[in-house]
Structure 1
């Protein structure tokens, strides 16, 4: 059987050493739109709020950087598989899991921050598969990566990997609750243009899946052109919330959760709606150019 849930969840934890520096952080920030014009920042390249993402002497680290930290900026020797080196493929390399990468989708993501991510660092990542859910026609693999440096825990990533055609193995179905959109107007709405070259820049942070760059590969996957990385939309959205709700203070973010509900094509505009409560901002992200087609759902930023 391609998926042996018991074998996957009981496998020994895998450890990986991670290292990053200010260039990795700056490249990631540029990949999610730092320094680009927005409705309230007509001169972004020299805006002090943007320089916190792009200038090494003023740099802070957006917590969503945790999804790419240590991925490196060069294509691994001999690498040709989509997403090789990313959290998604990492979750597919454990005992008990043997699936076709063409059937894999990134279903959801959560980052929990234990303290501020340093601009440069070395850390150890410990990865496990705490659950494999049986959705009938599909399986959902839950990958947990806990990262700590010499001073203790830094962050925890929970990644949900959706694998089409691999359900029906008799496992638990797992949670399926959806977060309802509040029945009132959003407290804030902002828009972010996704540049035509956004995916080409973002992939330099370590996700080399040709789906995001190669038109022929995208066509084989059922798209008429390459699509944006879901984790790029994830980062763009968190930056928008930090900049508009949290006064630009990345240290206030405690956790950030989303479900990937639809695709984004480079050149489109993301419409980001926010509903604020004490310690929590709920977010809905849609493609403004396609009648507000849902992009990110069940999205919450927990913060101080």
Structure 2
């Protein structure tokens, strides 16, 4: 986001954008990348042994494991489809993110990534663009991950005369079955940005004030990664291999140093609902669904 994205007069999007693709691009990640991402979303901060497998490869005989949401950092750092790259990025807001893993994501590897625009939704004055990405193993072609991101585009509406509605979502009428509370670090955004998203909004105080924030805000995908850690603990019984997917919407900005509570509702199936609530009770991440490899009852 930047100041230009706040002004009116932006041109609407076009249905011709559908199908715009990056083609196949090579990506690679190392164990260092995996550990740095884990530290960026707060793993290992409390000094306990529970998350050593995310931040080290040689402690107590544990092998390095990737936090499932690590795959989102690989895609965000990659090239956008041409039809998106041609737009002013100042009009964009990251509205939602989802991923699905057919198998546990490897701590290091190489793959081929394709990213394409697969959906356009006219909300009236604005629009939501859906980008879908597939990451395949570079040798045998098996799917390592499927991802979907929703991008809110200011001033992009007006191309569809019958705007579609969003998918209904609601929480059970009871208290959450699990709640994981964490305090983010004052320097959380500075640490997380080393995983690839170096937008000035998360590091430059003057730039953040220009956009109306008192100081740099936390990356939405950092909050998403913190929620992923909480889901591994609360819904996947501490086993990252059991968390095979996440889907959530971004609602409000988070400031580095804020306390976040991930609330989880279980119903004995292979899906759980969740949301993330800030220190003042404001919902910052909602419409959350977690996909599990095996059911876990309340």
> What range is the shorter-chain TM-score in?
0.7 to 0.9
Residue 116 of structure 1: CA displacement?
A: 1.4
Distance 1:296 1:4, change over 3 A: closer
1:117-266 to structure 2, matched below 5 A, reads 117-149=105-137, 150-151=139-140, 152-170=142-160, 173-266=163-256
Aligned to 1:51: 52
| CA offset digits 1:115-136 (Å, max 9, x no partner) | 1111110000011111111111
Mapped to 1, the partners of 2:272 and 2:13 lie a distance apart of 38
Residue 53 of structure 1: CA displacement?
A: 0.7
Mapped to 1, the partners of 2:22 and 2:202 lie a distance apart of 31
Aligned to 1:301: 290
| CA offset digits 1:141-171 (Å, max 9, x no partner) | 1101100002310001100000111111226
Residue 271 of structure 2 is aligned to residue 280 of structure 1: yes
Residue 245 of structure 1: CA displacement?
A: 2.6
Aligned to 1:41: none
Distance 1:48 1:86, change over 3 A: same
Mapped to 2, the partners of 1:249 and 1:174 lie a distance apart of 38
Gaps spanning 5+ residues in structure 1: where? 38-43, 72-84
| CA offset digits 1:64-118 (Å, max 9, x no partner) | 011112x7xxxxxxxxxxxxx636xx44x52377432222100000001111111
Distance 1:223 1:251, change over 3 A: same
- Structure 1 SS opposite 2:159: coil
Distance 1:171 1:153, change over 3 A: farther
Aligned structure 1 segments of 4 or more residues deviating by more than 4 angstroms? 1-4
Question: When the two structures are aligned, how many residues end up with a matched partner?
Answer: 277
Segment drifting more, 102-111 vs 7-16: 7-16
Residue 176 of structure 1: CA displacement?
A: 1.1
Query: How well do the aligned residues superpose, as a CA RMSD in angstroms?
Result: 1.9
Assess if the C-alpha contact under 8 Å between 1:125 and 1:148 holds in 2.
yes
Residue 236 of structure 1: CA displacement?
A: 0.3
